Structure 1
Amino acid sequence: MSLKRSLDVWKMGIVSYMDGLKFQEKLLSDRKFGKIPDTLLSLQHPPTYTLGKRRTDHNLLIPKADLHKMGAELHYTQRGGDITFHGPHQAILYPIISLRDSGLGVRKYVENLELVMIELASLYGVSARVGGKCETGVWVGDKKIGAIGVRISSGITSHGIAFNIDPDLNYFDHIVPCGIAGKGVTSLRRETEMILPSEEIIHEELVSCFAKVFGFTIICKDNELILSETEEVS
């Protein structure tokens, strides 16, 4: 019987997109050089639109100047995938893990990320599924409940998944979510008949689903160290 690998988990709360990105980049470098074990960031962002490396600006449906009026930011990233929205009441996981050590190829890694979100939805009686051809992420009927956008560098992952607990879905009206036209977006709140617990609990359940699917044992990190870690790479 093989032993489970350890996974450092940082529960970060609400973090600006750029601070989260800087922290990812530091951890990515540390993981490449074996300074840290596989690591998972669990967090939320203020209202933020992000574009993948294909730079599909045409899928932003409003002028960039209007974003500031909405209280939202726009950031360009090196992840795969198209445009998406991050905001409050959305659970985000950024895995910084070695695919080589995990024995996973890129396809299997993405399939596992899909399964993580499907398992979380099932805890609340929601039947989620993987998308069809050219439909990334996880869906309930013809509406997306969870998005995936990953980056692989030297066999180490970054960026990750965003699962809609109860975000303001009006923000999605200003984009073509993930570049998939004619499809809607939904949330756990809209799809379940159950009374939801606190979002902190749902975040913890998502982390637990990740650990279960990928075969990790969780080690929680001291959140007080996060600020000093991000300041080092500012």
Structure 2
Amino acid sequence: MSRRLEIVNKTCKLLKYREGLALQELFAEQVKISQSASCHLLLLQHNPVYTLGKRGRQEDFREAQQDVLRQGIDVEAVPRGGEVTFHGPGQLVAYPIVNLRELRVGARAWIERLEQCVVDTAAVFGVTAKGQVPGRTGVWVEERKLAALGVKISHGISSHGLALNVSTDLSFFSKIVPCGLPDKEVTSLEKETGEVIDMQNVVKVFCDVFAAEFGYGNVLKANDRTDKLA
């Protein structure tokens, strides 16, 4: 029997970060019960939010957090790896929820292959990017960061994931030291190409790339099943 990939595409509207976290927890419990290599690929666009990973520091905010909150931007501490980053409109956030033991992929290889999924997606839109950069996480276009990665692995089950800037307002990153790298720029597919890029086109390409990378032959779109939770 081929591995099953369940795609939950909720990128057509903005979702609060905590609502997305609740969906992740729901799917993680289902993966735990199933004891299979099936994957729930949750795709979102978040309301503006800064998230602090396990290595995130208050000093990584260039503006006082109270000033950030007054601007209507949420700040959330999250149980993923990494430092502080931004999520918001125009950014494809992908949370693959899967049992890595059943998938037979180690933690390092998991990160590297997720990076490769972004690299391959960017290439379809004419952007040459690279992952597996020594001393850095994420995906880069020369010295500019295109996508951030940060996962949580608990009892072999991976959650959280990656954030690919498609048409993101990059000015939000000026308020923080993104991913602990004060001297690096952040970029997007639209900035690199100078063209308008449709989010749903990026979603389709990313899903195809992800399914091929991890050998998912049985792909199910399950948007309607989760509407009541978001």
TM-score bracket for the superposition, by shorter chain length: over 0.9
Residue-pair matches, total: 226
1:20-39 matches, cutoff 5 A: 20-34=20-34, 37-39=38-40
Matched, 1:10 2:8: yes
Structure 2 unaligned runs (5+)?
none
* Residue ranges of structure 1 left out of the alignment (5+ in a row): none
| Cross-structure match for 2:148 | 147
User: Which residue of structure 2 aligns with residue 56 of structure 1?
Assistant: 57
Q: TM-score, normalised by structure 2?
A: 0.93
Aligned pairs for 1:217-232 (under 5 A) are 217=217, 218-221=219-222, 223-229=223-229
Shift of 1:196: 4.2
Partner of 1:200: 200
* Residue of structure 1 equivalent to 2:174: 173
CA distance in structure 2 between the aligned counterparts of 1:131 and 1:181, rounded to whole angstroms: 20
- Equivalences for 1:5-154 in 2 at 5 Å? 5-13=3-11, 14-34=14-34, 37-130=38-131, 132-154=133-155
Contact 2:118–2:164 (Cα < 8 Å) also in 1:
yes
Instruction: Tell which deviates more after alignment, 66-75 or 76-85.
Output: 66-75
Shift of 1:51: 0.4
Segment drifting more, 29-38 vs 11-20: 29-38
Would you say the 8 A contact 1:92–1:162 is kept in 2?
Answer: yes
State the alpha-carbon separation in 2 of the partners of residues 9 and 129 from structure 1: 25
How far 1:131 sits from its partner (Å)? 5.1
CA deviation vs aligned residue, 1:168-217 (integer Å, no higher than 9, x gap): 00000011110012000001001125x44421121121122111111113
Cα displacement string for residues 48-93 of structure 1 (whole angstroms, at most 9, x for unaligned residues): 1000023422111111111223221100000001111000000110
Deviates more, 1:23-32 or 1:52-61: 52-61
Counterpart position of 2:157 = 156
Query: Are the equivalent residues in 2 in contact too, given 1:98–1:156 (CA < 8 A)?
Result: yes
What SS does the aligned partner of 2:34 have? coil
Match of 1:75, as an amino acid? E
Runs (4+) off by over 6 Å: none
Deviations 1:86-144 (A, max 9, x none): 00000110000111111100010000010000001100111101253321100001000
TM-score where L is the length of structure 1 = 0.91
Does structure 2 conserve the Cα–Cα contact (< 8 Å) formed by 1:11 and 1:42? yes
* Residues in 2 aligned to 1:145 and 1:121: alpha-carbon distance in whole angstroms: 9
SS in structure 2 at match of 1:100: helix
Counterpart CA distance in 2 for 1:57 and 1:15 is 25
The question of whether the paired residues in 1 share the 8 Å contact of 2:189 and 2:197 is answered with: no
User: Could you tell me how far apart the structure 2 residues matched to 1:204 and 1:43 are?
Assistant: 13
